[in-house]
């Protein structure tokens, strides 16, 4: 699970919002197994707002992925999240990254979303849950904290570990992710 935010919520600044969201995740979905440090990261895309606070958490849950997503949206709503603009500033963003080795809905669909060109990524929104998250391998702000929690986890489609995916990113992207 990736957590991030760059605007204050009714709970406080982004780091406090993420901390309280972790407690809500544990209550709603199951116990937290691991939580990364918090990181400061540039807004994406560049210039879209103040820096983000990002983290990653691993949970134990018996809920199906399709049942997890509404829980995440509820917690985001409690933090004042509105969905006005794709990749815009937000109080809280919760993304389901991986559920073990599960691929949803199927390999072909996931591969298509992974290969989506940059322009389409800014406007296209899937009509269903895609696992693993199609941008997982592209984002240092996800991979740096994920490498703390699950460095050896293999991407179920590409077979690359989190550590390998992180090493494949440009040095500049990795350095931009700084401990909070």
The residues annotated as belonging to the active site are: 81, 90, 93, 95
Residue 162: φ, ψ to 5°: -60, -45
User: CA end-to-end span of the chain, whole Å?
Assistant: 18
Q: What angle do CA 145, 166, 99 make, to 5 degrees?
A: 60
Are 130 and 109 in contact by the 8 Å Cβ rule? The answer is yes
């Amino acid at each position: 699970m990736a957590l991030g935010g760059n605007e204050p919520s009714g709970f406080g600044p982004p780091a406090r919002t993420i901390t309280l969201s972790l407690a809500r995740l544990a209550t709603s979905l199951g116990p937290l197994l691991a939580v990364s440090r918090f990181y400061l990261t540039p807004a994406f895309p560049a210039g879209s707002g103040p820096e983000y606070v990002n983290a990653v958490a691993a949970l134990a849950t018996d809920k199906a992925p399709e049942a997890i997503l509404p829980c995440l949206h509820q917690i985001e709503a409690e933090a004042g999240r509105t969905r006005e603009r794709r990749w815009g500033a937000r109080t809280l963003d919760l993304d389901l990254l991986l559920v073990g080795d599960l691929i949803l809905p199927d390999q072909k669909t996931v591969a298509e979303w992974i290969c989506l060109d940059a322009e389409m990524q800014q406007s296209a929104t899937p009509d269903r849950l895609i696992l693993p998250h199609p941008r997982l391998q592209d984002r240092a702000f996800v991979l740096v904290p994920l490498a703390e929690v699950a460095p050896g986890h293999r991407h179920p489609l590409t077979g690359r570990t989190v550590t390998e995916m992180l090493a494949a990113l440009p040095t500049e992207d990795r350095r931009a992710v700084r401990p909070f």
